[in-house]
Structure 1
Amino acid sequence: MLYQFISKAKLPTAHGEFEIHVFENAEGQEHLMLTVGLPTNDDSIIPIVRIHSECLTGDAFSSLKCDCGPQLNAAMRAVQAHGCGAILYLRQEGRGIGLTNKIRAYALQDQGHDTLEANLLLGLPADARTYEMCKEMLDSVGVTKIALMTNNPNKIKELSEYGIDIIERIPLVVGVNKHNQGYLDTKSVKMGHLIDKQWTPTS
């Protein structure tokens, strides 16, 4: 077992009450999961799941350089509205390159490079995230079939390879603004994310 369940507790939020679960591996790396209505004994209900990688600047500081904060909040609202689902909050800051390197990449973006170019100029991968922990986290609440909130086809591919049955993909295009237009274009054009080209910046 790569990750083991450590503890859980109730977590009231602005979007409703969740249960928060913490998982840890032998090296002390931690990941979190927020759940509503799980486990469920009704096989006809497909949980909505969001795999969300930590983004301190977007999630905590409401940065407009990305869409991470709005995605997290939209996912929390969607899971609550559905009444059954989970948000796996993976501690993989900056697509897995870490906070310091993410800010270094931001500095290169300030000079005109896109997000992909910035990572490569720093000698870092475009995306260093992994998803092997997701199967164990979902197994802990009896989830094998999900409706996945994502625009990233790589998540669909990797989760499927780990044995998670993805019944439906739910697009998640929110938080669009003039500051992250280039970021979203890079995701779509260079990284293959499934982002509707018809979006219009909100500010």
Structure 2
Amino acid sequence: MILLAFLLQTIRIAVPYLLAAAGGVMSERVGIIALGLEGLMLSGAFGAALGSYYGNSPWAGLLGALVAGGIITSLLAVSTIRFRANQVVVGVAINLIVAASTRYFLRLVFDSSSNSPRVPGFGGEGVGNAMFASFLNPVVWIGLAVLPALAWLLYRTPFGLRARAVGEKPEAAATLGVAVNPMRL
């Protein structure tokens, strides 16, 4: 029983890393160096804390995480595609900027530079047995569904074939009419 509880908690805690790894796999397959994943996770966590705190709902927190991650990802895209900055430098810069800015905004918003106050989450508070609360967390199920969905997307769809072609051999993909980032050629 204790082993099962340990396994369930391990899966629950591993889901954010699993989602970041899935994003890293996707970006690496299309030829983008994903050094900013730590910054993306931190910005998503900060966005989730803000959304959940002010929206008083874990779903608002999930939306806040998506918005914050989208903003930082857009910063990466604009920097590397529009301004042709080095992907490694931008990834490291994003990690440093997000680490500093989240501490600053935590202090500004919550008067603490290390953590937010307790926010609503998908904890399964009404469940009698806390061990099985992980089964009620929709983020766990989303995280577990992402891996087979990503594998299907990359290896069973025309989009996945094009994405892998652009990441592995952009010159060949460009000759077939697939849009390729000019920096990749």
TM-score by length of structure 2 reads 0.26
Query: Which structure dedicates a bigger proportion of its chain to helix?
Result: 2
**Could you say which structure has the greater relative contact order, defined with CA pairs below 8 angstroms and 6 or more residues apart?**
2
Greater percentage in strand = 1
| Structure label with greater radius of gyration | 2
